[in-house]
């Protein structure tokens, strides 16, 4: 769909059934990365279409004049055995080789590592477990190559938990959020990229970030920015969303979800600080 006033193009994205929380994780990730951190990210807003609630996602490239190439294609160009379905070979070493190839092809020096510095820092903050090779890309135009903005950040902040499961598993019978549940959730999370050899699972967030910074120390600044991020604007925005009276379950944001997301973000920021002491 096209906004007649701005001529910008949007796509309406419905959440997966049972994961209606993706509406809010996608929107909040866009707000954090774009509005608070001022990083290139796909602009996301709330939309309703045919009675269904979802996200309005602004196009991140001009499909009439530019070419969009997803990461899996770049990975397979380097590693013919790369498996897009499982992504077992989505490793930091492979990304390093992809970046070197892109720079030889005209991508500005440091742009690839800068993108990944921001991606790893954001993903660690929001606990995004789904930065697979379809969720990053390059854009080619007459002006040359550039990294696509961060996009598809929805699988984060515990979006897979329904309101009912949150209340039953994360909160006490008195309605108090259990710190142990937050810590358990975060400790089990893994980034999609593997820090070492190919394998079935991605690496723990701390491991992949420490390894990345050991190879690209210049990208420490992105982590430092996130470590110092003021989360109060996010909490204020969530309070406004909770107060919205025109959304019904399962689309509305409950107070429990806003509290749970806030706890995940606070702990994510602490993980970033811890990473900076390790590398």
Residues 204-215 pLDDT 10s: 999 999 999 999
pLDDT at 2: 63
Residue 12 has pLDDT above 60, yes or no: yes
Residue 279 has pLDDT above 80, yes or no: no
pLDDT at 116: 99
Residue 133 has pLDDT above 80, yes or no: yes
Number of other residues whose CB lies within 10 A of the CB of residue 163: 18
Residue 52 has pLDDT above 90, yes or no: no
Residue 243 has pLDDT above 70, yes or no: yes
Residue 69 has pLDDT above 90, yes or no: yes
- The pLDDT mean for the chain works out to 95
Residue 4 has pLDDT above 60, yes or no: no
Residue 1 has pLDDT above 70, yes or no: no
pTM: 0.96
| Rounded average pLDDT over 168-178 | 96
| Domains identified in the chain and CATH numbers | 67-278 (1.10.1070.20)
pLDDT at 257: 97
The band of 6, judged by pLDDT with boundaries at 50, 70 and 90, is low
| Rounded average pLDDT over 101-124 | 98
Tens of pLDDT, residues 13-33: 999 888 999 999 999 999 999
pLDDT at 50: 86
Give the percent of the chain with pLDDT over 70. 97
Residue 5 has pLDDT above 80, yes or no: no
The band of 51, judged by pLDDT with boundaries at 50, 70 and 90, is confident
| Rounded average pLDDT over 150-171 | 96
The band of 272, judged by pLDDT with boundaries at 50, 70 and 90, is very high
pLDDT at 108: 97
């Amino acid at each position: 769909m096209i906004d007649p006033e701005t001529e910008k193009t949007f796509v309406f994205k419905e959440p997966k059934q049972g994961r209606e929380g993706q509406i809010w994780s996608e929107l909040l990730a866009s707000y954090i990365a774009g509005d608070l951190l001022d990083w290139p990210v796909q602009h996301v807003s709330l939309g309703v279409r045919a009675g269904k609630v979802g996200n309005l996602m602004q196009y991140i490239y001009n499909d009439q004049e530019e070419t969009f190439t997803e990461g899996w294609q770049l990975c397979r160009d380097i590693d013919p055995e790369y498996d897009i379905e499982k992504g077992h070979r989505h490793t930091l070493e492979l990304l390093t080789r992809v970046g070197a190839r892109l720079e030889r092809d005209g991508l500005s020096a440091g742009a690839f590592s800068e993108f990944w510095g921001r991606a790893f820092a954001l993903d660690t903050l929001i606990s995004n477990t789904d930065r697979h090779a379809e969720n990053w890309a390059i854009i080619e135009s007459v002006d040359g190559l550039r990294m696509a903005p961060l996009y598809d950040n929805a699988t984060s902040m515990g979006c897979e938990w329904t309101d009912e499961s949150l209340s039953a598993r994360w909160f006490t019978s008195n309605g108090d959020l259990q710190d142990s549940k937050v810590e358990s959730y975060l400790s089990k999370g893994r980034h999609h990229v593997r820090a070492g050899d190919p394998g079935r699972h991605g690496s723990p967030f701390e491991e992949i970030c420490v390894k990345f910074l050991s190879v690209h120390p210049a990208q420490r600044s992105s982590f430092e920015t996130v470590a110092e991020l003021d989360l109060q604007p996010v909490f204020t925005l969530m309070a406004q969303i909770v107060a919205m009276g025109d959304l019904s379950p399962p689309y509305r944001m409950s107070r429990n979800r806003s509290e749970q997301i806030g706890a995940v973000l606070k702990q994510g920021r602490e993980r970033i600080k811890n990473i900076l002491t390790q590398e």
